[in-house]
Structures are given as C-alpha cells and as structure tokens.
Structure 1
Amino acid sequence: MALGGLLVIVSVLAYAYGAVQLGDRVQVLAVARPVAAGQAITAADLKQVSAARDSGVPLVPATDAAQVLGRTAVVPLVAGTLLTPSLVGDAAFPPAGKVTASVALKPGQYPQGLAAGARVLVYVSAAAPGGTEPAAGSSTAGGAVPARVPAVVLGVDLGGDGQGATVVTVLLDASDAPRLAAAPAGGVVLMQTSPGGN
C-alpha cells in the first residue's frame, strides 16, 4: 500500500509539472515548406507549432496568420523555421533600402555547401590604382583592408556563368552596392556567418 501511495504521489507531481510546462507554451506560425525570397506567403506555406513562450523572441502567434498571408518573404525561408515579424515584408521586393546583386565566384571564393538563406560577409577588395586588378595572390590593392559587407544569400547557381564560376545572388544594403559593383574580378570573397551574424 505504501508503494502504491508513493506511485500516486509521483504521478500527481509529474502531471502538475507537465501542466506548468505546457502552460508556458503557445501556438505560433512556422514555415511548412521552402519559400523563396520575394515570394508571397500562402496558407500552404504555414503551419502551427507549439513553442516555448519567450519574451525575447518575437514569434508570430498562430492567431495572426491572416496578417502574414499575402506578404512576402524578406529572405529565403526553409521548412521548420519559426516565423518572426522581421522575416516577412510588404509585397515589393527587394525591401526598401535593399538591393539584390549577383557575383560570379570561383572555388575558394565562397564556402562549400553555401545555400539560399545563409548569412554571409562579403569581403570586397578595392581596385588597384588606375583601375587595374590586384596582382595575382594579392587579396587587396596596395595592402588596403577589404571592405566587409553583410548580406543574405538568395540563390546559388552552380551552373554559373558557363566559365567555371558559380553565380551567387545576395541581398544587401543599397549603400553597399556601389562598393560591390566596383570590385575587380576575383576581388570578392564570401564567408558564411552564424544566424546571428557573428
């Protein structure tokens, strides 16, 4: 009887603990299938999931689905991603203050396995004086430090430009576009960063 009473007490405590934990969870929106940057979000792209309540992460409640439908993905979204307000934008793409750019890169100028949705730092070398390209084996012109431009990868075309280069399309700040456009051939290197940008 003592053992039976102990089991009852343990069961009650376990139920109470589970109830408390479930009470701290909410129904939020997640991505059900891959969504390309600039693509309008439909009901089929979304699903409801249970997530821990966290005031530091602004997840989109499942009850706000109507406010997300018809808006566009600001960056490529992979299945399973928990939706936050910063991941969706207005119908226009690219968003205000942003531009898209494509660069042809040789092996060694970008990390293997690079895919849409990755956050990268684009290191851009300045052109040498007189508009010439940097000398072979030199990553900068005159020893200058390359500019560092944060960006998000929109697409990776392994077929590339037909000359052995892979074409990577990125979303970046409009203010950084002239720097990237002025980069000499071979003067751009991509390095993938953590989701937080570090």
Structure 2
Amino acid sequence: MALGGLLVVVCVLGYAWGAVRLGDRVQVLAVARPVAAGQALAAADLKQVSAAQDPGAQLILVGQAQQVIGRTAVVPLLPGTLLTPSLVGEAGFPPAGKVAASLALKPGQYPQGLASGAQVAVYVSATGTGGDGQAAPANASRAGSAPTRLQAVVLGVDLAGDGQGATVITLLLDASDGGRLAAAPAGGVVLMQAAPGGN
C-alpha cells in the first residue's frame, strides 16, 4: 500500500510539473516554406508553433503577424525556422549596412554542397591567380601578407556559373567589407563554411 501511495504522489507531481512547463509556452511565428533573401513575407510563408517562453530569444509572437507580413527576409529562411526581429527587414533589399556581391569561384575556392543560407568565412588574400593561372603581378599584391577574413551569408549558388568552369556565388556581407572584396585579385578569394551561429 505504501508503494502504491508513493506511485500516486510521483504521478501527481509529474503531472503538475508538466502542466507548469506547458503553461510557460507561447505561440510564435515560424517559417512555413522556403523564403529567399530579399523576398517579401506573405501570410502563406508563416505558421504558428508553440515554443518555450524565453525573453532572451526575442521570438515574434503570433499576435505580431501583421507587423511581419510585407517585410523582407534578411537571409534565406528555411521551413521551421523560428522568426526573430533580426531575420526580417524593411521592404527594401539589401538591408541597411549590407551589400550583395556575386563571385565567380573555381572548385577549391568554396566547399562542396554550399547552399543558400549558409554562413561563410570569406578569406581575401592580396595575392591570387589570373584567369590563365599565372600569379598576379608583384605590384598588385603584398607578398607574405595574411588574408583578410570577412563574414557573409550565402544568398545563392548558381552551378551553371559563368560558362568558363566557375560557379557564381552571391553573398550578403557588411557594406564596409564590400570594397575589400571588390579589390580582391583573381583567385584571391576562398570561402569556408561556418557552423550555424559560429564565427
């Protein structure tokens, strides 16, 4: 009888704990289908999900849906992504302080399987190779200098490329880094994929 009574107490406590946890959940907005960077969000792009209430997460509540519809995705959004204010911008693209840039990169300059939405480290070296594979002129580079590291998000990967064996990859990066990327010599850019949320 004592064992049975203990089991009843454990079940009651477990139910009470579960009820409290469920009570801490809120209805928030998530992505229902793929949304490209720069695309305006429509009602069909959003869905309602339950999430744990966490003030630090800055999730967008269902009641704020009308404030999100019509705004643009700052980065490519995948289904199931919980929306936060940092993922949506105004009705223009690229967002303030950002630029979009397209690069024609050869195999070996970017990781295989690279896809939209990936976070990448962009290494820009002062030296590179020309289209014929020859080293860049000495006056166009600084021998021995370490490459500059930039942060970017992949907006698109065009495997059809430029018709000369290169893949065209479009990046979203800080406007202050645009000049460094534009000044890179041929063959002077290498992309490395970073883990989500990584540096």
Instruction: Report the TM-score, using the length of structure 1 for normalisation.
Output: 0.89
Equivalent residue for 1:170?
171
Q: Is the 8 A contact 1:75 1:87 kept in 2?
A: yes
Conserved in 1, the CA contact under 8 Å of 2:40 and 2:69? Answer: yes
Tell me if the contact between 1:134 and 1:141 (Cα under 8 Å) persists in the aligned partners.
no
Give the 5 Å matches for 1:33-44: 33-44=33-44
Tell me how far apart the structure 1 counterparts of residues 178 and 194 of structure 2 sit (CA, whole Å): 20
Is the contact made by 1:127 and 1:182 (CA closer than 8 Å) also made in structure 2? no
Q: Could you tell me whether the CA contact under 8 Å between 1:127 and 1:134 is conserved in 2?
A: no
Instruction: Please list every run of 5 or more consecutive structure 2 residues that lacks an aligned counterpart in the other structure.
Output: none
String of CA shifts for 1:118-175, please: whole Å, max 9, x gaps: 11111111258xxxx9738xxx740111111111100011111111111100011112
Does the Cα contact within 8 Å between 2:127 and 2:143 map onto a contact in 1?
Answer: no
Measured in 1, the distance between the counterparts of 2:150 and 2:10 equals 56
Alignment of 1:150 onto 2:151 = yes
Identity %: 76
Whole-angstrom distance in 2 between the partners of 1:40 and 1:158: 25
**CA distance in 2: counterparts of 1:134 and 1:64, whole angstroms:** 56
Count of matched residue positions in the alignment of Structure 1 and Structure 2:
191
Residue identity in the other structure for 1:148: R
Distance 1:92 1:123, change over 3 A: same
Q: Which amino acid aligns with 1:191?
A: M
Identify unmatched segments of 5+ residues in structure 1: none
Tell me how far 1:197 sits from its aligned partner.
3.5
2:66 — aligned with what? 66
State how 1:108-127 maps to structure 2 within 5 Å: 108-127=108-127
Counterpart for residue 182 of structure 1: 183
Q: 1:12: which partner in 2?
A: 12
Q: Work out whether residues 134 and 184 of structure 1, in 8 Å CA contact, stay in contact via their aligned partners in 2.
A: no
Q: Distance in 2 between matches of 1:175 and 1:11?
A: 59
Aligned residue number for residue 160 of structure 1: 161
Equivalent residue, structure 2, for 1:32: 32
- Measured in 2, the distance between the counterparts of 1:97 and 1:85 equals 16
